[in-house]
Amino acid sequence: MAKIAHLFVDTNVLVQCRPFDQLDWSEWNNFDEVHLIVSRPVHSEIDHQKSRGGDRLAKRARKASTLLREILLSDETYKIVRDAKPCVKLFLDTTLPTDALNDRLDYSRNDDRLVGTVHAFDQIEPQADVRLLTHDTGPMATAKMVGIQFAVVPDHWLLPPEPNQADKRIKKLEAEVSSLREAKPNFLIEYIDDQGQAVERINFDLPRYEPLRADEVAELVERLKRNCPITSDFGKRDRSERISQSPSTFGLTEVFKPASDDEIEAYENQYETWLQKCELFFRHLHFKLQERDSVPHFNFVAKNTGTRPAQDALITITATGKLEVMPPPYHDREADLGDGDAGTPQEELRLPDPPKAPKGTWRVPELDLIQFAFKEPKMPRIRDLGRPLSRDPNAFYYKPKRPSDPVRSFELECKQWRHGIAPEFFEGELHIDFRERETEGSLECCIHAENLSNPIRKVIPVRIRLQSASTLDIAQTLVDACS
């Protein structure tokens, strides 16, 4: 049986210590596993601290909150934060403070609620090694008072203190001196992952959708016929008249025109054509799913950290190995600048709509004549009257134009890349050969400028692995949604 230490963490373990995988766990080598347990009082304190602005404590609380959210949204009840001996796992616990200590602890205080929760868990699991893990003396004293074991967070686990005002002023003066010495542009380039963190390599695990077999396609079409059968009900077959009760045509005579034989025949032909379109849709569905779910995005962020604008800046995004790149499919800024085809938003994945059977129509002949008489003639459309006549010198434009297909590299240019402003994001898609189970290569972001002595480069290794995913399950869901 595995030997496990159950450590109920105080808030300072999550917001004042280094990341779990960077801590020295040698003190716990006698255990096979260490379970770090986040109780309800600590979870509540994290939620409170994450909204306190932009200081380090709030940022660390937001990072801890993200870690806890991963556990809540996953199928597992824990997250492994260190995969070595001892294996360290992070848990969320909903145990309530014990009622047995109501006369000794003040549960309006967070520290007392934490100690009361550890006591309750200890009563539930009397055979377990249960302790409070904290760096604060207050919770230690409370735990000792009620007979709860505690473990002290070592000082070397803590993050270094934030710089004081004097340190900040010295740093600011050093930056100003450096600014005076270097009157030129300079760039910092980072790769940012989906969590907004700078990383030095990227790994993607993506689904690889298998094509549907011919018998699966045939069964899906039959299922579609059952869900959306061809109709033989085309409404009334006799012509008739009535007085309209509609407010807009009140008192006028409405004439019902039954569906004609030509309309019925056209509907039947359209139904057969619709089935053929659906069959083709199923045959190509794995491609559509691959485009929707298996196109990873990349994101370089670059900032001019120098003291002068970069003149005639050129940004090149390059892929190596079996990778290709292209800009994102849609970007409002590109559309506003008139920079070629900005793409279209991703459409919802759905089957073609079945044709509607003709049922005959009620018409007001007098109204048809009036509408025909006042129908405006179509005017030819004059395109691109709103296209800007000149380019913004501080904006970025694709050179020579925005690629619409995957390429090995693409470029953007900026006449004057200003310094001391917000960073620029250079986003795009990574494309691979989906017949390969694993693809490796690299991404490079390179910045040139007329007044930049040497190009600035950032190279990120990339590894993409594909895992089989069911196309049939999604196809069946789409069929069931079609009725």
Q: Which fold has domain 184-329+350-369+392-482?
A: Immunoglobulin-like (2.60.40)
Q: Which residues of the chain carry a pLDDT beneath 70? A: 53-54, 164, 177, 179-182, 240, 244-251, 330-347, 362, 364-389, 483
Cα diameter, the chain: 94
Helix runs in 203-361, H state only: 214-227, 261-283, 285-293, 332-336
Looking at domain 4-157, what is its CATH homologous superfamily?
A: 5'-nuclease (3.40.50.1010)
Interacting residues of 436 by C-beta distance below 8 A, sequence separation 6+: 322, 466
Q: What is the DSSP letter of 108?
A: T
pLDDT at residue number 173: 82
CA 323 from centre of chain: 22
Kindly report, residue by residue over 118-161, the tens digit of the pLDDT. 999 999 999 999 999 999 999 999 999 999 999 999 999 999 88
pLDDT at residue number 342: 44
Choose among 180, 178, 182, 179: nearest CA to 452.
182
CATH 3.40.50.1010 domain extents, the chain: 4-157
pLDDT at residue number 383: 52
Q: Using CA atoms, how far apart are residues 476 and 223, in angstroms rounded to an integer? A: 9
Kindly report, residue by residue over 86-121, the tens digit of the pLDDT. 999 999 999 999 999 999 999 999 999 999 999 999
Q: What is the DSSP string of 341-366?
A: ----PPPP--PPPPPPPP--EEE-HH
Q: Using CA atoms, how far apart are residues 430 and 455, in angstroms rounded to an integer? A: 24
Q: Using CA atoms, how far apart are residues 432 and 284, in angstroms rounded to an integer? A: 18
In this structure, the number of other CB atoms found within 10 A of the CB of residue 269 comes to 11
Q: What is the DSSP string of 463-474?
A: EEEEEEE-HHHH
CA 187 from centre of chain: 27
Q: Decide: 227 and 354 in contact? Cβ < 8 Å.
A: no
pLDDT at residue number 386: 52
CATH 2.60.40.10 domain extents, the chain: 184-329+350-369+392-482
